[in-house]
Chains A and B, each alone.
Chain A
Amino acid sequence: MAQSNPPFMSGVPELLLLRLLKQQEMYGYELVRAIREVTGEAISLGEGVIYPVLHSLERSGALKARRKAVGGRTRVYYALTKKGAARLDRLQDDWHRIQGGITTVLESPGHA
């Protein structure tokens, strides 16, 4: 499993959560499992750390939460709002811009 690197992880959980919730509503444990599966365990998080991000996104209106009884247990499901979708678009644009910049530096012979 990849080592987590906090300075490089800034903003990444938020981007991943918004992207996964764009497809369907999910609860915390499901989200962590989805992150692990989608990234091939390349991204390792202390799993409890996603809840502050989820709550903060909910407070800012990017997500909405609702309780739902599943298999005899009540889960808190999170879903993306319109505001969240707009935020995801912005974050994706930022990510692609930064990724492009870093790739250029890494592939430039002058910096090898």
Chain B
Amino acid sequence: MPEPNFGQLAQRLLDKGIQPRIVRRAVGELRDHYDDLVIAAQRDGMNEMRARDRAASQLGEPDLIVTAMSAQRALRSWPFRYPRVAVVIYPLACLLLLPAAPVVAGMSHASAVVRWGTSLLIAGIFTASLLLVLQLSILFG
């Protein structure tokens, strides 16, 4: 049996929607388990190649591990646990909340909004005054 490719196993688990944190820990545990099996086989008198072969066989087919892992719904990321919510309800909720975003942002940065608003108001009054003076000077000058 070929030596397990743990990097590939991790990628397959991620593709199945298993949470990255769980994948990292599970693959680490599987790697340690494999090392322990190799050491045990070598203690039984096997050379390294045979020991690795036996360890891989005892650990089990990667397909079985992927199937067993993805069968545990609790281990999946939420978009894989609730695909309808992820594909339909979540984007809809985002679209509905989008118009509220500037208001929420404005409320959370109220002091900056007031400063900018005051500055704009003063600048507007100043510009209007200048235009008024100009207009009056044209009319009565």
Contacts and interface: CB of A to CB of B under 8 A. Distances in A.
A45 B65 CA distance: 11
Q: How large is the interface on B (under 10, 10 to 19, 20 to 34, 35 or more residues)?
A: 20 to 34
Q: Which DSSP category, helix, strand, loop or mixed, fits chain B's interface?
A: helix
Contact of A48 (B36, B60, B74): B60
A60 interface: yes
A19 interface: no
Given A46-B61, A47-B37, A59-B72, 9 more contacts: A28-B29, A48-B59, A51-B69, A52-B65, A52-B68, A52-B69, A55-B25, A56-B72, A76-B28
Interface of A: 27-29, 32, 45-49, 51-53, 55-56, 59-60, 73, 75-76
18 contacts: A29-B33, A29-B37, A32-B33, A46-B59, A46-B64, A48-B59, A48-B65, A48-B68, A49-B64, A49-B65, A51-B33, A52-B68, A52-B69, A55-B72, A55-B75, A56-B75, A59-B75, A73-B32
The 6 closest A-B pairs by CB, nearest first: A46-B60, A56-B72, A59-B74, A52-B68, A48-B65, A52-B69
